[in-house]
């Protein structure tokens, strides 16, 4: 017996038969799957779940399909890891992380992709298409491959290369920005980030957290917020467990975290509506939703739970990712590590008690977005050179740049002085070309501006080697 009974709209209360659709016809809001929770209370579903092994489909009574029909790659059943080192540093005795990096494609999106793809096959669809962020695109591509159906992904903006490689490897058709728009096709389902069946998979994170804690709720769950779907799914999952009689605590505060570069949900909760400048590039791209589809639901989830929402900088995310890897052995992408950065902010402002049981959801693997490793690599010239496999100094930075570094090793200088010395060494080059080389070396962190001097009414910038630059020159010797 399937206990899913209907689709409903949280915003206007409209209800629909259980089928594959995204949006409410009355208000346009995203839909949700409803269940016969009274019936689940009668059958004591907790006992069934406790006796079962497996991933998300062990909770099939609160999913919209039978497990026998599931399109699965082994998603779910991820570890609730006790973060003792970070917790000790922050003064928290009960800090844990829900490590979603171990899902088949490396992110929590696999949970939702499994449920959605299962429903597509069940209803006779031959494909799925839509405009997706990197993790969702990679996940839907993988599960479509498993199901033997078509997957078409339209990219609206830049995507992390590792995630794009996954999409390509799994056989998805990629539509680049500026190409033809997604059009309705027979037998091909058009999915959204806010799709109700994605939400159903994601909510199993809450089920696993509660079960791992002996069917008790934690005090806080901290979760990254992009489209708003994940934080809403956790609230929905916890509410269904309460109404089905699985848990009775009703104590979990949901804490949302967004990037300071793009934080529309946090801004609305805090009442700060000052516009942020639109950046062209972001470190945590999967968190960038200027108009989040589940904005209303996410805010409702946070408020109803008595929680709050915070912003952290992208640099703080990078630092948190580095700490999580080095202290706890979990390699997370910056967007995922935002929850650790958020907990640090909460501790500093006194929002957490040392005895609070706090769970941070780590949503995706650092292999998805290896910028943290790249930043570490930049600190070690020898490793950088080894990985690039470059033998000669000229292939590493180029002969002219090497000459400029050697000039600056002798003494700091300005662009004109560098040009004069290069000319004396027989290098035919224009001052503007020297300026471009200087700019490139500065971007690589090999030189830095350290002084200024006024010559004939003009300010000249003095450049010096950085520690990284000095190390490189030694290697070149």
Q: 3-class secondary structure for 177-228?
A: CCCCCCCCECCEEECCCCCHHHHHHHCHHHHHHHHHCCCCCCCEEEEECCCC
pLDDT tens track for 411-420: 999 999 999 9
The pLDDT of residue 155 is above 60: yes
| Of the listed ranges 89-103, 208-222, 346-360, 389-403, the one predicted with least confidence | 389-403
DSSP-assigned letters across all residues of 279-308: -S--SSGGG--SS-TTHHHHHHHHHHTT-E
Give the model's pLDDT for residue 131. 92
pLDDT band at residue 138 using 50, 70 and 90 as cut-offs = very high
- Domain at 392-476, CATH from 3.40.50.300, 1.10.10.10, 2.40.50.90, 1.10.510.10: 1.10.10.10
| Of the listed ranges 46-50, 362-366, 384-388, the one predicted with least confidence | 384-388
Task: Name 256's Cβ contacts closer than 8 Å, sequence gap at least 6.
Answer: 223, 224, 225, 231, 265, 266, 269, 298, 302, 307, 308, 309, 310
Give the model's pLDDT for residue 367. 87
- Which one, of 295, 288, 293, lies nearest residue 317 by Cα? 288
Mean pLDDT of 124-133: 94
The residue with tokens 């639109």 is: 278
Contact 228, 202 (CB under 8 A): no
Q: Domain map of the chain by residue range?
A: 75-106+197-374, 109-195, 392-476
- Which one, of 203, 230, 199, 204, lies nearest residue 54 by Cα? 204
Give the model's pLDDT for residue 445. 85
Q: Say what the pTM is.
A: 0.80
- CATH topology assigned to domain 75-106+197-374: Rossmann fold (3.40.50)
The two domains 75-106+197-374 and 109-195 share their CATH topology (first three levels equal): yes
Percent of the chain scoring above 70 in pLDDT:
92
In angstroms, what CA-CA distances link 379 with 57, 112, 291, 338, 464?
44, 38, 37, 23, 17
pLDDT band at residue 375 using 50, 70 and 90 as cut-offs = low
Measured CA to CA, the distance from residue 301 to residue 235 in angstroms comes to: 6
| Of the listed ranges 225-229, 369-373, 418-422, the one predicted with least confidence | 369-373
Give the model's pLDDT for residue 454. 81
In angstroms, what CA-CA distances link 200 with 27, 125, 225, 355?
21, 19, 17, 31
pLDDT band at residue 182 using 50, 70 and 90 as cut-offs = confident
Supply φ then ψ for residue 292, to 5 degrees: -60, 130
pLDDT band at residue 470 using 50, 70 and 90 as cut-offs = confident
pLDDT band at residue 380 using 50, 70 and 90 as cut-offs = low
| Of the listed ranges 42-46, 154-158, 219-223, 275-279, the one predicted with least confidence | 275-279
User: What are the CB-based long-range contacts (under 8 Å, 24+) for 322-326?
Assistant: 322/372, 322/375, 322/376, 323/86, 324/83, 324/86, 324/97, 324/362, 325/366, 325/372
Measured CA to CA, the distance from residue 327 to residue 318 in angstroms comes to: 14
pLDDT tens track for 301-312: 999 999 999 999
Percent of the chain scoring above 90 in pLDDT:
70
The pLDDT of residue 279 is above 70: no
Give the model's pLDDT for residue 389. 54
pLDDT band at residue 286 using 50, 70 and 90 as cut-offs = confident
Give the model's pLDDT for residue 390. 43
The pLDDT of residue 150 is above 90: yes
CATH number of 109-195: 3.40.50.1100
Q: Is the dihedral of CA 218, 219, 225, 228 positive or negative?
A: positive
Distance spanning both ends of the chain, measured CA to CA = 74
The residue with tokens 């696993």 is: 208
Give the model's pLDDT for residue 382. 60
Give the model's pLDDT for residue 394. 38
At 247, which helix (H) or strand (E)? Answer: none
The pLDDT of residue 391 is above 60: no
pLDDT band at residue 186 using 50, 70 and 90 as cut-offs = confident
Give the model's pLDDT for residue 54. 85
pLDDT band at residue 374 using 50, 70 and 90 as cut-offs = low
Please state, rounded to an integer, the average pLDDT across all residues of the chain. Answer: 90
Q: Which residue has the higher pLDDT, 154 or 391?
A: 154
Query: Helix, strand or coil for residue 455?
Result: strand
- Which one, of 14, 22, 23, 19, lies nearest residue 4 by Cα? 19
């Amino acid at each position: 017996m399937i206990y899913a009974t209907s689709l409903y709209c949280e915003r206007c209360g409209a209800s629909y038969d259980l089928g594959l659709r995204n949006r409410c016809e009355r208000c346009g809001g995203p839909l949700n799957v409803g269940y016969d929770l009274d019936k689940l209370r009668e059958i004591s579903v907790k006992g069934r779940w406790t006796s079962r092994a497996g991933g998300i489909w062990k909770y099939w009574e609160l999913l919209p399909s039978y497990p026998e029909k599931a399109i699965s790659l082994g998603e779910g059943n991820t570890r609730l890891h006790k973060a003792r080192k970070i917790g000790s540093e922050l003064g928290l005795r009960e800090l844990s992380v829900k490590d979603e990096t171990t899902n088949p494609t490396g992110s929590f999106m696999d949970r939702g992709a499994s449920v959605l793809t299962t429903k597509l096959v069940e209803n006779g669809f031959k494909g799925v298409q839509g405009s997706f962020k990197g993790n969702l695109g990679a996940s839907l591509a993988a599960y479509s491959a498993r199901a033997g159906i078509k997957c078409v992904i339209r990219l609206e903006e830049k995507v992390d290369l590792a995630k794009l490689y996954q999409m390509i490897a799994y056989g998805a058709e990629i539509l680049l920005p500026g190409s033809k728009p997604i059009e309705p096709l027979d037998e091909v389902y058009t999915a959204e980030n806010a799709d109700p069946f994605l939400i159903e998979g994601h909510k199993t994170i809450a089920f696993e957290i509660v079960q791992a804690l002996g069917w008790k709720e934690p005090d806080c769950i901290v979760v990254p917020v992009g489209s708003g779907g994940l934080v809403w799914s956790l609230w929905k999952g916890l509410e269904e467990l309460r109404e089905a009689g699985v848990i009775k605590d009703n104590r979990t505060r949901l804490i949302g975290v967004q990037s300071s570069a793009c934080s529309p949900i946090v801004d609305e909760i805090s009442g700060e509506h000052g516009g942020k400048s639109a950046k062209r590039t972001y470190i945590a791209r999967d968190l960038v939703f200027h108009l989040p589809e589940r904005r209303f639901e996410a805010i409702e989830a946070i408020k109803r739970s008595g929680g709050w929402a915070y912003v952290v900088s992208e640099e703080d995310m990078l630092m948190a990712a580095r700490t999580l890897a080095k202290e706890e052995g979990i390699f997370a992408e910056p967007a995922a590590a935002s929850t650790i950065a958020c907990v640090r902010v909460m501790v500093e402002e006194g929002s957490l008690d040392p005895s609070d049981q706090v769970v941070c959801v780590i949503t995706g693997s650092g292999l998805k977005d290896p910028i943290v490793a790249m930043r570490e690599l930049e600190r070690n010239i020898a490793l950088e050179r080894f990985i690039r496999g470059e033998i000669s100094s000229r292939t590493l930075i180029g002969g002219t740049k090497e000459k400029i570094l050697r000039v600056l090793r002798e003494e700091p200088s300005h662009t004109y002085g560098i040009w004069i010395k290069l000319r004396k060494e027989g290098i035919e080059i224009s001052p503007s070309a020297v300026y471009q080389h200087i700019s490139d070396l500065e971007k690589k962190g090999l030189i830095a501006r350290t002084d200024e001097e006024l010559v004939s009414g003009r300010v000249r910038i003095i450049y010096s080697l950085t520690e990284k630059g000095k190390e490189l020159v030694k290697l070149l010797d």
